[in-house]
Structure 1
Amino acid sequence: SYLDMRTPPAASYEISVVAKKWVWAFKYPNGWIESELHIPKGENVTLTMASDDVLHSLWIPAFRTKMDVVPGRYTQQWFNATQAGTFPLMCAEYCGQKHSEMITNVVVHETRGDFDKWLQNASDIHKNKTPVEAGEYFYKSRGCIQCHSLDGVPKNGPSFKGLFDSERKFTDGTSRIADANYIRQSILEPQSQIVTGFRPIMPTFKGQLTDEDITAIIAFIKAQK
């Protein structure tokens, strides 16, 4: 029945979902955040969802499931994937200029063991990736990609191309070289130094990234020549 479809089973694997223009963030029980949804085959999975900005809708066509993701409240949907593979996941509610780019994948692992192995390896990102590779992961999974390009074209924020060691001029008339300390401050206290020509819309990532995470992001930005 419709009620059964909307009521998650008591025994299910719960993943938290945050939607924001124009990315998805899937948070697993161990605290790991990924931009793709990974699940084991043959198990009940519940998504507890919220939006950081406007109305979105999480749609997985292959699963025939769709549910609105609403600002200021939680919604849920659940499913049990019966086939391993990779399937598209997208936003089905118009949410602004880059709505059509709010697409990612659902990766269904063949066994729970395969899923657990993936989650363990993914969670050990600083062990399994170089600092630049880890920084690229955070660039994508934390939503930096939506406001900071890599090709030199400004978006809602400055491009990361050629940013490191360049001079940044601020709205208060001061300036500063974009070294490691500047980038760290921009991540933790973004409102403290607003670059001329841009709005003060970047949120703080204080408490969301470790020092090691920030060091990786700095390495990634430094590599964008």
Structure 2
Amino acid sequence: LDRLQMGASIRHSKLEGLEERETLFLEFHGSPRAVDEQIALVREICASFGGDELKWALEQEARTKLWTARHNAYWAARSLRSGCESFATDACVPISSLPTCILEAQRAAEAAGLTAPIVGHVGDGNFHMLVLYEPSDPAQRARAEALTDQIARIALAHGGTATGEHGVGLHKRNLMREEHGAAIEVMAALKAALDPSNIMNPGKILPDETDLTP
């Protein structure tokens, strides 16, 4: 969770004892000895990069409380601007590119003048920016939509994908050729061969101009 999202989570879920700053949540599994070794290693790594002392828990109730900030993140983020709607981005990049990609995404949101907290499951390089906008303001909605495309293109520029887990659907079809290039024709040929009448989920994933002629 970035600083903006963490602050929203603390206020929304009334999480005393947690700080309003960038926060990484980790879960360790294994034998008691293996878990102790993992915690010691992570503590050393965090300290070497200027991180705070770990806050951790073993009992289920205490663990659930720590995870609340992440589990309630969506509604916490929506509480930042009452009455607003949102778009969720789904950028996924190689882990080595993740810090740079997140910083570029934050700068893009700031330049667009939009409130956009970030949450992710960053162990696989995937993060989501929730872009908030006023539904009664067409110009603001347009900026929000443009920002979601910009975040996807930032991910592509870092060797990633426009959609890590949320799928393509309608809104990301315009990015598929940028991401996959000539492979789009191969996908279209397979689609046409398996679905010559184009009745299986028509109008999704592939760009509008793609030829689906069998």
TM-score by length of 2: 0.31
Structure with more helix by fraction: 2
Structure with more strand by fraction: 1
TM-score by length of 1: 0.30
Q: Which one has the largest radius of gyration?
A: 2
